[in-house]
Structure 1
Amino acid sequence: MAATPPVCDFDWPAPDFELPGTDGRTYRLADVAGENGTLVMFICNHCPYVLAVLDRIIRDARDLKKLGIGVAAICSNDAESYPADSLENMKKMAEEHAFPFPYLHDEDQSVARSYGAACTPDFFGFNRELGLQYRGRLDASRNKAGPADLRRDLFEAMKQIAETGRGPAEQIPSMGCSIKWKAA
């Protein structure tokens, strides 16, 4: 089922985390923060919305790093109900696609809850002070990739944040599969 996150709550402070990565290291927010901003995105291995734009997510992450933006991806889905999202399968995906960012496993889902993540993909763009400035979409693609010349909403917003410290006033929310929460 498709889900849409709420609009950006400007200057909301980024919650810290400590999560294992697919590379065997443990990462905190400070480890991934960039000098000009930080992008924390919630993705997973099986969501058609993520898979449709995975090449664009990787492209934008590489381009954002050149602007001094730190990038991390987090998978918070219940891997018992969705085995494709297990840490082992996350490792395979990160290697297969040569992720240019840490891919982190939120097994207990506490980080997704602290961020209020709603869907995959869900993008949280922070300025250098780690205040939220962007909670929008990657581009106009949905569960199928749109044309290659679509406006790069996420990239343009993060570029603006790197240059000015502020995100765009107008933002279009991301859309994707809901986070797969564990049964209570």
Structure 2
Amino acid sequence: MSARMPVRTDMTARDAGRPGRFGGGRRRRASLGAAALLSAAGVLASGAAPAQAYSPNPKVTAVYRDTSTCPCSGGALTDPYDSTSFARDPGGYAVKLSLKKGSSFVGKVEFHPNDEKLWVYDTKNDNDTIYVHITYTSGRTTHDLGTYTAPATAAVADHMTKDFDIPEGAGVDISVYDDARLTDYIGGARGTGGAVA
């Protein structure tokens, strides 16, 4: 003969909604637990995205090279990550923007006239990143090439490279921002201080 669980017969409608052995509480606790787990998973999944802004903004240092006389490397192009070297590109003007917050190197942006490449680095896992907006002017027309950022991963240094098709001799403007809406300008290389493809 199998043992049977006692059946509670004195349960009221009020008791049915209470957590406990005889009410609907077990299912409710399971539902609440599942909701809490999904909520926590959402927070963790969004943890890779930048969550704060630099305050104050990092200091930007620009280094330029006339790529007619390159290959160029060393000196001011050296940094703690992969340093920078520019290939020869007659008529081109390369730029490297280094971003430091106090003594920490937090990122860099490079424009290489040879093959018209933009490199964006995030070199510090600090829940922040930089947003790089790039345009070029050819003739009297300015062309918007978009906004780029390094991927947010657990790596010490993240970077992305974008290869453009920019006409030779076009002026290239690079603007670095602390937010995706492009309202918090950090620095850049624009106008007469811009790069040349």
- Shorter-normalised TM-score: what interval? under 0.3
TM-score (structure 2 length as normaliser): 0.25
Higher strand share: 2
Larger radius of gyration: 2
- Using structure 1 for the length normalisation, give the TM-score: 0.26
Higher helix share: 1
- Greater RCO between the two (CA within 8 Å, min separation 6)? 1
